[in-house]
Amino acid sequence: MNTNILIVGVGGQGTLLASVLLGKLALDSGYDVKLSEVHGMSQRGGSVVTHVKISDDKVGSPLIEEGEADIILAFEKLEAYRWLPYLKPDGALFVNTQQILPMPVILGQAKNPENMDQFLEDHAGTIKAFDATQVAVDAGSSKAVNVVLLGAASRRLPFSTDAWLKVIEGSVKEKFVDMNKFAFMKGQLMGSPQ
């Protein structure tokens, strides 16, 4: 079993916590796992990506390359589009439909591609696009968007719901545990086949 998950978004959106949760979960479940992150400059609102590679064998390179991701978790739509070439033809894309405009677009120096929604539909193996930020806000905080997206993807990963809830318990501050579990379950509902 090899599962490659690419987590993409905008610096400051909390993509790192999502990958750390996945890493712990994989370790607790007896898999080998490697994560590769971006720190430094891009964390100031730039395009950021975290690679998560899980295997029941040994993981070598920590990086996922084009066409190798089983799952992409996109915290923002343009970032989903940018990183789409990394998805396997039959891979699954989970995308937060919230948009954060990059400065060149705000300033009118560049344009977001037209028909991004359609493009993502056409080229992802499967796609689940929803307003994960709203789901997180409904659960109690916009900060829980990472857990919502993990919830949505959870059925495609080899971990039980109990294991997920346990790792959430061990990873967030006590007063936020219930809210995050709730956000996770809401995300899981969103990700279920309809």
Partner 1 sequence: MGKKIMLGNEAFARGAWEAGVTVVSSYPGTPSTEVTETAAKYDEIHVEWAPNEKVGVEVAMGASLGGARSLSCMKHVGLNVAADPFYTAACTGVNGGMVVLVADDNGCHSSQNEQDSRFHGRSAGVPVLEPADAQECKDYIKLAYEISEKYDTVVLLRSGTRISHSRGIVEEGERVQRDLIPYEKNFMKYVAMPAMARKLHVAQEQRLGQIAEDSCEWEINDVQMGEDTSIGIITSGICYQYAKDALPEASFLKLGLVYPLPKKLICEFASKVDKLYVIEEGQPFIEEQIRSWGVPVAGGKDMFTIQGEYSARMIRQAFGKDSGEETVDTSDAPGRPPLLCAGCPHKGLFYVLSKLKTTVFGDIGCYTLAALPPTSAMDSTLCMGASIGMAHGFEKATGDKTNTVAVLGDSTFLHSGITGLINMCYNEAKGTVIILDNRITGMTGHQQNPASGKNAKGELAPAIDLKTLCQACGVKHVVEIDPFDVKDLEQVVKEETARDELSVIITKRPCAMIVKQPNIPNVITDRCKNCRQCMKIGCPAIEVRDGRPYIVSDTCVGCGLCTRVCPFDAIDQTSKEGK
Measured from the Cβ of residue 67, the count of other Cβ atoms closer than 10 Å reads: 11
In angstroms, the CA 21 to CA 172 distance is 10
Give kind and range of the element (H or E) at residue 162. Answer: helix 161-171
For the CB of residue 119, give the shortest distance to partner 1 in the complex, in Å: 8
For the CB of residue 2, give the shortest distance to partner 1 in the complex, in Å: 11
- Which ranges constitute the DSSP H helices of 36-144? 77-83, 103-106, 116-123, 132-139
Say whether residue 175 binds partner 1 (CB under 8 A). no
The encoded tokens of residue 187 equal: 């995300």
Say whether residue 65 binds partner 1 (CB under 8 A). yes
Q: Give the range of 45-53, 157-165, 166-174, 175-183 binding partner 1 by CB under 8 A.
A: 45-53
Q: Give the range of 12-20, 147-155, 159-167, 179-187 binding partner 1 by CB under 8 A.
A: 12-20
Among 57, 90, 113, 175, binds partner 1 (CB under 8 A): 113
Say whether residue 1 binds partner 1 (CB under 8 A). no
Backbone φ, ψ for residue 173 (5° rounding): -60, 145
In angstroms, the CA 88 to CA 105 distance is 29
Q: Which is nearer to partner 1, 83 or 94 (CB)?
A: 83
Q: Which of 68, 67, 70, 16 lies closest to 43, judged by CA? A: 16
Say whether residue 158 binds partner 1 (CB under 8 A). no
- Residues in the site for partner 1, rule: CB under 8 A? 10-12, 19-20, 23-24, 27, 32-47, 59-63, 65-67, 78-79, 81-86, 100-113, 119, 123, 133, 142
